[in-house]
Structure 1
């Protein structure tokens, strides 16, 4: 008979469920965190099989500043990441928009960079939108659990969900929806990836201007969160931060 030790049970559960195993046994609490990210250019994405992007490079600089060796970064679909951050202990999610709707569900370190949540439409439609209330009776597409979708749902409007940003953009381009709720980073990258002409679209409404952060699960020790924030504050004052912004964003 095979006997599974009590210490092995969390690792076995992670393997069976296909989830990343939480680090065990390190003396530094930063090494007991599980770091989760998604495909979201130019902040975090996979390149040559490894995580890359502004937020990834900045996180590595934070570890170096804190004297922490580089940790594994797990790239997963966003809805799965978002649920993990709210339900599981010792999780760090990036990059996440810090919005009013999400504020109380996480502890935050940032900002990484500023961003905007918007409604995009075909320029040829000449869609006049001064507020979300002007979208009454119109169809809006988005992705599950992203900040832009939460803004639209919070205003009381239903959404057409797409599995990927490319699919959502195709819904917009084909006229099956009237507008697309996304952040500007994701929208620009998706237009480029699909190959549509950028000037065919326009942002008809900026819903909010929110910065992107590292979001820690709510159980994370406040002292550890403050340690990450001090490291980030120090790095932002150095040329390395501006160099990263210029390389990945500008």
Structure 2
């Protein structure tokens, strides 16, 4: 994993030795949380059966800063994660767009990174859009319970729900929908993985630009949220955090 290689590098050994270690704390509230995430490169993905990525490595640095032993991270489909984060106690999910619509659904720690949601179409379609109101009358594919979908629903449009990003791209290319509402990073990575040229697609409209956060269930104690936020604020001031961002920037962040 990237973080393991980084810790092993002599340049960074001093930084980690100067930080609190992974003491075995049995009654720490941060160790009683269920951490859930979906595969969403470069923030989280699987490598040799283990979750890795920017948000995972950053979370490990937060645990270390708080003197919390490393916790298991469960990877599952986004709809299950989103529901669990709202209704189950002691859950943290990531990486989540912090939008106005979601503000009161969770308690937030972040930001992890900046993000952008857009409406994407085929260049041959030639859509000209200036505002969400221009989506009226269009067939739009999106994924359930995503921030992009909420923007489409706000415009009064019921989208065609795709099973995943690959399915959404297939719907677009087959002409069954006019556009896709999706996170920009996910869209770009999906078309590349499917072997399609980015030159064949264009951004018809930017739906919103919001930061990505760790989202905790609404029953989380404010003291715990403050503790995570202080740890994040401390970690992001250190060279190891800048090195982490540089590493994942090389992977298309």
Same fold (TM over 0.5): yes
Residues matched between the structures, number: 226
Question: How big is each residue's C-alpha offset from its partner over 1:73-123, in whole Å with a ceiling of 9 and x where there is no partner?
Answer: 000110000000111000000000000000000000000000011100111
- The answer to whether residue 168 in structure 2 is matched with residue 173 in structure 1 is no
Structure 1 window deviating more from structure 2 (235-244 vs 141-150): it is 235-244
Note the C-alpha offset of 1:136.
0.9
1:13-32 to 2 correspondences below 5 Å: 26-32=26-32
Matches of residues 219-234 of structure 1 in structure 2 within 5 Å?
219-234=219-234
Distance 2:156 2:40 in 1: 27
Q: How does 1:1-250 map to 2 (within 5 A)?
A: 26-250=26-250
Find the residue that maps to 2:150 and give its secondary structure: helix
Q: Secondary structure at the match of 1:199?
A: helix
Superposed CA offset, 1:102-155 (max 9, x none)? 000000000000001110011121110111111111100010011101110111
Distance in 2 separating the partners of 1:235 and 1:187: 30
| Inter-partner Cα distance in structure 2 for 1:61 and 1:81 | 23
For residues 147 and 96 of structure 1, the distance between their equivalents in structure 2, rounded to whole angstroms, comes to: 9
Preserved contact between residue 135 and residue 155 of structure 2 (Cα < 8 Å)? no
Give the Cα–Cα distance (whole angstroms) in 2 for the partners of residues 169 and 152 of structure 1: 17
* TM-score scaled by length of structure 1: 0.88
Name the SS for the 2:57 alignment partner.
helix
Q: Which runs of 5+ in 1 are unaligned?
A: 1-24
| Deviation per residue, 1:3-55 (Å, 9 max, x gap) | xxxxxxxxxxxxxxxxxxxxxx9310000000000011111111111001100
Measured in 2, the distance between the counterparts of 1:213 and 1:44 equals 13
Give, in angstroms, the shift of residue 192 of structure 1: 1.4
Q: Distance in 2 between matches of 1:157 and 1:89?
A: 33
SS in 1 for 2:60: helix
What's the TM-score once normalised by structure 2's chain length? 0.87
**Residues in 1 aligned to 2:246 and 2:199: alpha-carbon distance in whole angstroms:** 24
Q: Cα offset for 1:204?
A: 1.1
SS at structure 2 position matched to 1:94: strand
Q: CA RMSD in A?
A: 1.1
SS in 2 for 1:105: coil
